[in-house]
């Protein structure tokens, strides 16, 4: 009694804690994707119900066939046998059609969910999304989206079909001999009890499984992305051992749940045997007493199996619902994060077209920014830049040079102050919609797999080969591209493989120049170049007639003499350096 009371209090506590309301919210979110496919889902449900009707009709035909064979009932054996074969063929066709419709719905919903989640991940506030490991994002995008799409049909349509199957089979049994219904219902309380026992186990397993999938995905992603480092430090065996450890943890988690499933399955199987043999015994007695025929007993035994199966399906809906909503909740965690604001993109594009010829100035006024962790990066930071100027941002490592560029790209949002663009007295605030006015070359190798030309055309799909060659010449990349057998159609491997860091940097600069944005941001973009090549690249950019503002972050002061102004970032503040300070900085390098 105390055990029952304890379980009851647990479920009441979960409901009060809001879990039920949360699961309903997650279910509603799932079916916002399914609503487009309601006609197909209704068709699927009708097919399932039709299959149930066919099964019941088949049981009647089987009854008649057995009665004819045993001599209990006179009839046309060939005709009855033919009907039975026809019903079996029709049932096969319905099952195949149901499977096809199910696959089509699942694949379409899977594609729609993954496409939507993919877009929303890309549109999510950058600082928020970086709190997730890329392996976790991949696991959620792939595994959880797949679980939701495959589970859509496993809930409402399957619920309707299972209820219909139970009611129809139960009605037939009661109509023909109500006593058989008693034996068919013996296993129902036990099935419901088992589903409650598995309730919390299922939710806990789903959460652990999702967390483990994210860990494995993240481990694999980082390993394959850093093969060179792993090999260079001779860490191969260590990483293999780490994978084995993760696999062992996963196996132990799965085996724990498997043991529970085995015990439950054995108990339910024993109850099923009890129901079956009780039905057999009662059926033999009813046949012996002359109350029913052998065919009727055969029909009842088949229908009792349908009843037990329907009850088991209904009982399994609870853990299935938990699994489905757990995956939905993990996806909703991502898509409910803050979105970037692209509402002013059209305004920014129009602003660019109006002022492309004379160029655009950039202003940062009294900007303050702190990371979500609370670390203060800038206090009252201000600077400005104008067309045909090259501005340098210098300072110790970790003081905020890259952070400033991310603020200019609206990847980060300041707590106060303003960053805006100005031309002919007209201004627009910098936000996500204004990124079309920037070109960016970040630190490291940022080339994508494909050809050189394909990488260039990522930022300008209609670029001609002549335009591509021009920007390659500006970045001094044509020096080596022209010597490649396939020229601009030469392949680039993943993460810029096949090219040196210096070559990849020059290709990245070429790609940024091809976009012809009025503001070019170079974040240590020439760090892998020799001094002579670095100066040539900067000089080519400065001598280009396009009215471009170039902002450079650097630890190497070799190009500072070529810059119009140099701003130092130090201790959360920015200040412009005079010529003597720039000379001293170069001298001290």
DSSP 284-295: HHHHHTTSS-HH
* Backbone angles phi and psi of 252, in degrees to 5: -60, -40
* CA atoms within 13 A of residue 314's CA, in its CB half-sphere: 21
358 and 269 co-located in one domain: no
Alpha-carbon distances, residue 176 vs 172, 220, 278 (angstroms): 6, 61, 18
pLDDT reported for residue 393: 92
- Per the prediction, the chain carries an average pLDDT of 80
Worst-scoring range by mean pLDDT, 172-176, 198-202, 309-313, 356-360?
A: 198-202
Among 266-275, 320-329, 332-341, 509-518, which range has the highest average pLDDT? 509-518
147 and 231 co-located in one domain: yes
315 and 437 co-located in one domain: no
* Residue 363 located in a structural domain: yes
Provide the number of structural domains found in the chain. 2
Instruction: Provide mean pLDDT across the span 470-492.
Output: 90
261 and 376 co-located in one domain: no
Task: Assign 244 a pLDDT band (cuts: 50, 70, 90).
Answer: confident
446 and 373 co-located in one domain: yes
pLDDT tens-digit profile of 111-132?
887 888 888 888 888 878 888 8
pLDDT at residue 4 tops 50? no
pLDDT at residue 318 tops 70? no
The closest alpha carbon to 7, from 261, 200, 187, 191, belongs to: 200
Do residues 72 and 7 make contact, with C-beta atoms less than 8 angstroms apart? Answer: no
* Residue 452 located in a structural domain: yes
Q: Which two tokens stand for residue 94?
A: 């319905």
pLDDT reported for residue 96: 82
The closest alpha carbon to 460, from 388, 513, 523, belongs to: 513
Task: Assign 241 a pLDDT band (cuts: 50, 70, 90).
Answer: confident
Instruction: Provide mean pLDDT across the span 529-555.
Output: 86
Task: Assign 11 a pLDDT band (cuts: 50, 70, 90).
Answer: very low
Residues sharing a CB contact under 8 Å with residue 190, sequence separation 6 or more, in sequence order: 267, 268, 271
Name the 3-class secondary structure at 486: coil
pLDDT reported for residue 532: 84
The closest alpha carbon to 402, from 501, 527, 503, belongs to: 527
Instruction: Provide mean pLDDT across the span 525-544.
Output: 82
Among residues 271, 303, 335, the one where a domain terminates is 335
**Strand-pair partners of 354:** none
555 and 511 co-located in one domain: yes
pLDDT at residue 567 tops 80? yes
Element at 391 (helix H, strand E): strand 390-394
Q: Could you tell me if residue 125 is left (phi over 0), alpha (psi between -120 and 50 degrees) or otherwise beta?
A: beta
* Residue 169 located in a structural domain: yes
pLDDT reported for residue 493: 83
**Strand-pair partners of 565:** 391
Do residues 275 and 190 make contact, with C-beta atoms less than 8 angstroms apart? Answer: no
* Residue 9 located in a structural domain: no
Among residues 273, 306, 335, the one where a domain terminates is 335
137 and 74 co-located in one domain: yes
Instruction: Provide mean pLDDT across the span 527-537.
Output: 82
Q: Which stretches within 226-293 are classed as H helix?
A: 227-232, 236-288
Instruction: Provide mean pLDDT across the span 355-363.
Output: 91
* Residue 7 located in a structural domain: no
Task: Assign 438 a pLDDT band (cuts: 50, 70, 90).
Answer: very high
* Residue 3 located in a structural domain: no
Instruction: Provide mean pLDDT across the span 7-35.
Output: 65
CATH number of the domain where residue 79 is located: 1.20.1560.10
Among residues 284, 309, 335, the one where a domain terminates is 335
Higher pLDDT, 156 or 484: 484
pLDDT reported for residue 15: 46
Element at 487 (helix H, strand E): none
222 and 359 co-located in one domain: no
304 and 359 co-located in one domain: no
* Residue 15 located in a structural domain: no
Task: Assign 466 a pLDDT band (cuts: 50, 70, 90).
Answer: very high
Name the 3-class secondary structure at 153: coil
167 and 122 co-located in one domain: yes
**pTM for this one?**
0.72
329 and 350 co-located in one domain: no
pLDDT reported for residue 12: 47
Question: Can you give the residue range of the structural domain that contains 176?
Answer: 20-335
Estimate the crossing angle of helix 294-335 against helix 188-225, to 10 degrees.
40
325 and 195 co-located in one domain: yes
The closest alpha carbon to 212, from 251, 262, 239, 257, belongs to: 251
**Tokens 């003597």 identify what position?**
580
pLDDT at residue 519 tops 90? yes
* Residue 8 located in a structural domain: no
């Amino acid at each position: 009694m105390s055990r029952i009371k304890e379980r009851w209090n647990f479920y009441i506590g979960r409901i009060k804690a809001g879990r039920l309301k949360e699961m309903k919210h997650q279910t509603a979110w799932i079916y916002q994707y399914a609503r487009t496919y309601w006609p197909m889902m209704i068709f699927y449900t009708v097919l399932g119900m039709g299959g149930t009707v066919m099964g019941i009709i088949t049981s009647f035909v089987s009854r008649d066939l057995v009665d004819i064979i045993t001599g209990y009932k006179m009839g046309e054996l060939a005709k009855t046998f033919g009907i039975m074969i026809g019903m079996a063929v029709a049932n096969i066709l319905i099952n195949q059609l149901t499977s096809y419709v199910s696959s089509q719905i699942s694949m379409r919903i899977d594609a729609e969910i993954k496409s939507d989640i993919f877009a929303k991940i890309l549109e999510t506030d950058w600082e928020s999304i970086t709190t997730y490991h890329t392996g976790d994002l991949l696991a959620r995008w792939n595994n959880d989206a797949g679980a939701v799409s495959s589970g859509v049909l496993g809930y409402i349509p399957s619920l309707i079909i299972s209820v219909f199957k139970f009611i129809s089979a139960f009605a037939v049994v009661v109509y023909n001999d109500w006593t058989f219904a008693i034996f068919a219902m013996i296993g129902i309380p036990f099935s419901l009890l088992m589903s409650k026992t598995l309730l919390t186990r299922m939710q806990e397993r789903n959460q652990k499984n999702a967390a483990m999938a994210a860990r494995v995905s993240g481990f694999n992603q980082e390993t394959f992305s850093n093969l060179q480092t792993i090999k260079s430090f001779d860490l191969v065996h260590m990483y293999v051992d780490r994978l084995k450890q993760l696999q062992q943890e996963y196996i132990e988690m799965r085996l724990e749940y498997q043991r529970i499933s085995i015990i439950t399955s054995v108990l339910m199987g024993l109850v099923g045997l009890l129901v079956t043999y009780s039905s057999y015994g009662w059926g033999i007695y009813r046949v012996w007493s002359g109350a029913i025929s052998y065919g009727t007993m055969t029909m009842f035994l088949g229908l009792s199996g349908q009843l037990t199966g329907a009850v088991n399906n209904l009982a399994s809906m609870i853990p299935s619902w938990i699994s489905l909503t757990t995956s939905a909740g993990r996806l909703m965690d991502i898509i409910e994060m803050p979105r970037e604001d692209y509402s002013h993109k059209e305004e920014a594009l129009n602003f660019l077209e109006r002022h492309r010829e004379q160029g655009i100035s950039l202003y940062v006024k009294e900007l303050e920014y702190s990371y979500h962790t609370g670390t203060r990066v800038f206090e009252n930071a201000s600077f400005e830049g104008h067309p045909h100027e090259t501005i340098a941002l210098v300072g110790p490592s970790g003081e905020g040079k890259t952070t400033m560029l991310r603020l200019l790209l609206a990847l980060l949002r300041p707590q106060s102050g303003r960053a805006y663009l100005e031309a002919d007295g007209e201004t627009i605030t910098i936000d996500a919609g204004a990124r079309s006015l920037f070109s960016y070359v970040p630190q490291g190798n940022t080339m994508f797999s494909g050809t050189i030309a394909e990488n260039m055309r990522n930022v300008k799909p209609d670029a001609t080969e002549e335009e591509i060659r021009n920007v390659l010449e500006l970045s001094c990349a044509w020096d080596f591209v022209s010597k490649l057998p396939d020229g601009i159609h030469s392949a680039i491997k993943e993460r810029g493989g096949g090219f040196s860091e210096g070559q990849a940097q020059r290709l990245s600069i070429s790609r940024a120049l091809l976009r012809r944005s009025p503001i070019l941001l170079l974040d240590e973009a020439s760090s892998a170049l020799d001094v002579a090549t670095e100066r040539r690249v900067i000089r080519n950019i400065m001598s280009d007639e396009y009215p471009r503002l170039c902002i450079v972050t650097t630890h190497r002061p070799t190009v500072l003499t070529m810059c119009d102004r140099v701003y130092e970032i130090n201790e959360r503040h920015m200040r412009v350096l005079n010529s003597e300070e720039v000379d001293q900085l170069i001298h001290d390098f």
